[in-house]
């Protein structure tokens, strides 16, 4: 990861991002596990990077005549994020000093160039402008005015001619897929719909909002995220085709080239975490859950050692290409950053108390004021909807326990020590304020139905969902959905299902569901199909487990109104 920084002959590639992506996810993993072996590896990586810093402060791999172009500032952003993450983890002043020296280099070089900032990186300057995030984080540590001034300079550059207009278009509620026309060069300077880079800029703007409290910043971010959520995100919780926003939600059942880039998946989760931290709106936790169980885990090799680049909703999973002459690509480096959203999001402290956002077997100790509270969660969720949370404060303590109710759970039963609580609203938090004591037991039972999801505006294409899981057909269990027409055999408005115990390697959930198969010449016959969760489908990563998410129903024009 460090070697490219010792060469400095690049003119247009992005090797310099890989170190920062790896180190930030490794730091998050260390903060979660406290594994000293990992810390030693991180320390070696940080010291190796710092050793490449030039006397003027530059850390990167671009030749002098090509600096501040293409992906150079983008790569320096990731170096800053890694150095600052290490400082926050260890308080090693060498890391902070290197970060300051690098930031000072960027600032002075940008100002000295006299060139519009939006012309210093790809995609209407969004690649370069994403350095906003670590610049604000550095200001938060040092309170050095020059960093805040540069952050404001970056945001102002978004209004330059041919720039991204991230605030203006966000305030105008322009859908992200409609913000700019199709560029002459797709992967070039004028593509203002590049998904990963756009969301990275909004992550930085959220950090600046927390400092400056300008309401238009938050409004632009929320409006943009709502557009992504409504217009772009597929049923599996990711989006994009050819790495850009394309108004994809309404065409997600259409075969799309290079859809659901893992960089987009991880960055959408990170942006949702930013929104959850700032707004406290449970919808963003719902989005994180959907993305985690489907698009993110669906992109990961079962043993976790690598990631695919694109996770299509049908076909065969495959590894992406190696990039920049290295045995890695952007998505392999980014996938773990999505995983590490979960420890930050699962249990959160807010002004009201503790929010429980993610339901999995876990133990967490949190501080409520000066007091420690341990929560132990026991569950097989999302195989079923039963969750038990054991609350253990150090002493009897008054606080709010906020339980996220998934949007899809039409009815949720909650009890405390056997006494029912009946104010659960789908998609919201149920807040329980009481004096909590050692051993208090909270039980939740979510309504885990199999549900039919139609592509927006298309009554002929649908998939099935179970709790937060998207279901898919895998060739290991049957081939017929690839060429026959099926509709679920609902019984009194409910789709029956049976969870099947199975020894197939790396399959999390397997269930049998009755369908009505259309017979040539008219009529239907019942047939049971075996479906798996989307993340398990295709996970032999070859044609043996080719998979299909969308089922088709023939359009009958005689029934058109």
Provide DSSP, 152-198. HHHHHHTTSTTS--HHHHHHTT--GGGSSPPPSSTTSTT-TTBHHHH
* Confidence label for 483 from pLDDT (cuts 50, 70 and 90): confident
How far, in Å, CA of 513 to CA of 491, rounded? 12
How far, in Å, CA of 216 to CA of 219, rounded? 5
The pLDDT score that the predictor gives to residue 504 is: 83
How far, in Å, CA of 26 to CA of 20, rounded? 10
Average pLDDT, the chain: 96
Largest CA distance in the chain: 79
pLDDT digit string (tens) for 216-275?
Answer: 999 999 999 999 999 999 999 999 999 999 999 999 999 999 999 999 999 999 999 999
* Confidence label for 505 from pLDDT (cuts 50, 70 and 90): confident
Taking 90 as the threshold, does the pLDDT of residue 1 lie above it? no
**Which of 543, 546, 544, 538 is closest to 508 using CA atoms?**
538
Torsions phi, psi of 207, nearest 5? -65, -40
How far, in Å, CA of 293 to CA of 283, rounded? 16
Q: Which DSSP category does 60 fall into?
A: S
How far, in Å, CA of 190 to CA of 188, rounded? 6
Residues 6+ apart with CB under 8 A from 165: 158, 159, 179, 192
Angle at the Cα of 274 from the Cα atoms of 272 and 276, rounded to 5 degrees: 65
pLDDT average, residue stretch 424-441: 97
Quick one: which H or E segment has residue 220?
A: helix 215-227
pLDDT digit string (tens) for 140-199?
Answer: 999 999 999 999 999 999 999 999 999 999 999 999 999 999 999 999 999 999 999 999
**Which of 442, 434, 437 is closest to 393 using CA atoms?**
437
Buried/exposed 250-271: b ≥16 CB within 10 Å, e otherwise: ebbbeebeebbbbbbbbbbbbb
Q: What residue segments make up the domains of the chain, in order of their start? A: 1-115, 349-445, 450-559
Find out whether 463 and 551 touch, Cβ atoms under 8 Å: yes
Please state, as a whole number, how many other Cβ atoms lie within 10 Å of the Cβ of residue 458: 16
Residues 6+ apart with CB under 8 A from 109: 67, 68
The pLDDT score that the predictor gives to residue 304 is: 94
Buried/exposed 127-142: b ≥16 CB within 10 Å, e otherwise: bbbbbbbbbbbbbeee
Taking 90 as the threshold, does the pLDDT of residue 299 lie above it? yes
* Confidence label for 556 from pLDDT (cuts 50, 70 and 90): confident
pTM of full prediction above 0.95: yes
To the nearest 10 degrees (0 to 180), the angle between helices 262-279 and 215-227 is 140
Find out whether 455 and 463 touch, Cβ atoms under 8 Å: no
pLDDT average, residue stretch 441-464: 96
* Confidence label for 555 from pLDDT (cuts 50, 70 and 90): confident
β-bridge partners, 314? 548
pLDDT average, residue stretch 413-422: 96
Find out whether 207 and 133 touch, Cβ atoms under 8 Å: yes
How far, in Å, CA of 370 to CA of 391, rounded? 17
* Confidence label for 554 from pLDDT (cuts 50, 70 and 90): confident
Taking 90 as the threshold, does the pLDDT of residue 103 lie above it? yes
* Confidence label for 423 from pLDDT (cuts 50, 70 and 90): confident
pLDDT digit string (tens) for 17-73?
Answer: 999 999 999 999 999 999 999 999 999 999 999 999 999 999 999 999 999 999 999
Residues in the chain: 561
Q: Which DSSP category does 131 fall into?
A: T
Scan for tokens 């999001």, then name that residue. Answer: 345
CATH number for the domain running over 349-445: 2.60.40
3-state SS track over 359-392: CCCEEEEEEECCEEEEEEEEECCCCCCEEEEEEE
The pLDDT score that the predictor gives to residue 521 is: 77
């Amino acid at each position: 990861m460090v070697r490219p920084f010792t060469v400095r002959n690049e003119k247009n590639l992005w090797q310099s991002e890989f170190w920062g992506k790896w180190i930030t996810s490794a730091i998050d993993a260390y903060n979660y596990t406290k594994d000293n072996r990992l810390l030693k590896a991180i320390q070696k990586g940080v010291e190796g990077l710092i050793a490449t810093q030039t006397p003027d402060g530059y850390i990167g791999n671009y030749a002098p005549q090509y600096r501040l172009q293409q992906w150079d500032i983008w790569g320096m952003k990731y170096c800053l994020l890694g150095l600052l993450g290490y400082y926050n983890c260890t308080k090693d002043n060498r890391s902070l000093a290197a970060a300051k020296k690098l930031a000072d280099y960027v600032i002075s070089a940008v100002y000295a160039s006299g060139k519009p900032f939006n012309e210093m990186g790809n995609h209407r300057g969004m690649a370069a402008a994403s350095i906003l995030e670590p610049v604000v984080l550095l200001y938060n540590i040092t309170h050095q005015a020059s960093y805040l001034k540069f952050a404001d300079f970056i945001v102002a550059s978004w209004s330059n001619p041919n720039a991204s207009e991230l605030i203006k278009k966000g305030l105008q509620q322009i859908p992200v897929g409609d913000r700019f026309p199709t560029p002459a060069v797709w992967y070039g300077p004028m593509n203002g719909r590049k998904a990963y880079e756009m969301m990275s800029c909004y992550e930085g703007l959220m950090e600046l909002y927390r400092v400056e409290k300008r309401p238009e910043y938050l409004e632009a971010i929320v409006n943009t995220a709502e557009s992504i959520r409504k217009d772009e995100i597929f049923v599996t919780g990711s989006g994009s085709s050819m790495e850009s926003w394309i108004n994809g939600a309404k065409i997600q059942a259409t075969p799309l080239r290079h859809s659901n880039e893992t960089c987009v998946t991880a960055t959408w989760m990170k942006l949702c975490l930013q929104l959850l931290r700032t707004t406290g709106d449970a919808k963003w936790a719902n989005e994180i859950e959907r993305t985690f169980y489907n698009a993110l885990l669906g992109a990961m090799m079962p043993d976790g050692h690598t990631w695919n680049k694109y996770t299509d909703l049908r076909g065969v999973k495959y590894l992406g290409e190696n990039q920049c002459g290295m045995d890695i690509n952007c998505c392999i480096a980014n996938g773990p950053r999505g995983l590490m959203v979960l420890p930050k999001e699962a249990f959160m402290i807010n002004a009201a108390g503790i929010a429980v956002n993610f339901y999995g077997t876990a133990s967490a100790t949190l501080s409520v004021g000066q007091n420690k509270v341990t929560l132990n969660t026991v569950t097989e969720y999302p195989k079923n909807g039963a969750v038990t949370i054991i609350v253990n404060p150090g002493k009897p303590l008054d606080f709010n326990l906020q339980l996220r109710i998934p949007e899809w759970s039409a009815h949720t039963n909650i009890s405390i020590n056997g006494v029912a609580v009946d104010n659960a609203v789908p998609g919201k938090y149920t807040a329980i304020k009481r004096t909590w004591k050692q051993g208090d037991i909270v039980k939740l039972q979510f309504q885990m139905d199999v549900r039919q999801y139609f592509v927006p505006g298309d009554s002929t294409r649908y998939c099935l969902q179970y709790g937060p899981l998207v279901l898919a057909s895998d060739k290991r269990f049957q081939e017929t959905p690839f060429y026959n027409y099926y509709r679920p055999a609902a019984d009194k408005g409910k789709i029956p299902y049976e969870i099947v115990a199975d020894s197939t390697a790396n399959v999390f959930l397997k269930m049998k569901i009755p369908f009505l198969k259309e017979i040539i010449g008219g009529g239907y016959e019942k047939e049971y199909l075996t479906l798996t969760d989307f993340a398990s489908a295709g996970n032999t990563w070859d044609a043996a487990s080719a998979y299909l998410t969308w089922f088709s129903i023939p359009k009958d024009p005689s029934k058109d109104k």
